[in-house]
Amino acid sequence: MIKVGIVGGAGYTGGELLRLLINHPEANIRFVHSKSNAGNTIGSVHADLDGETSMVFSGELNDDIEVLFLCVGHGEARKFLQNNPVSNRVRVIDLSQDFRLNDTKTFSGTGRAAGSSDVGTTERNFVYGLPELNKDAIRTTFNIANPGCFATALQLGLLPLAKAGLLKDVYSTGIT
């Protein structure tokens, strides 16, 4: 079983991640961190998970993990890693935009997200985490920058066309 920690578990992304991992046969959730909800049950914040688990949110971090999910707001993941050094043996999966690509010019096919090595005093290079585009790099890295929903939808639709050489210019608009 993989020992998992979740930071930002009280938000929407954290709740969806919990929904996926609570009954996952290979996941052992060691802690779900939330400063504002420490001591509250998961179900009291995520009504859809009420009765699924007796876990409570923690205000403390636990070092006994193999994977750390960062489900915090944009700009907060970078700050979290600066203020809370995480062992390089722990896989970090960032679900915010903090370590995604800054622009297309900085993505050279290496799988490295732009500007990803300036986290505090510990260098962490994040890989762009779209498996259909970057599965080999994802398998070998300890730091994954999860792509956003718009980018994922566009890339999954366009990658087959790009691989077949059928694309020239692509223009898209996304509205939330």
Q: Which of 47, 149, 166, 175 is catalytic?
A: 149
171 part of a folded domain: no
How many residues make up the chain in this entry?
176
Check which CATH number belongs to the domain holding 55 and give it.
Answer: 3.40.50.720
172 part of a folded domain: no
52 part of a folded domain: yes
147 part of a folded domain: yes
**pLDDT of 8-38, one tens digit each?**
999 999 999 999 999 999 999 999 999 999 9
Annotated catalytic residue 149:
yes
Domain count, the chain: 1
168 part of a folded domain: no
- Longest Cα–Cα distance in the chain: 54
State the Cα torsion 1-45-17-117 to the nearest 10°: -100
**pLDDT of 136-145, one tens digit each?**
999 999 999 9
Range of the domain at 90: 2-163
47 part of a folded domain: yes
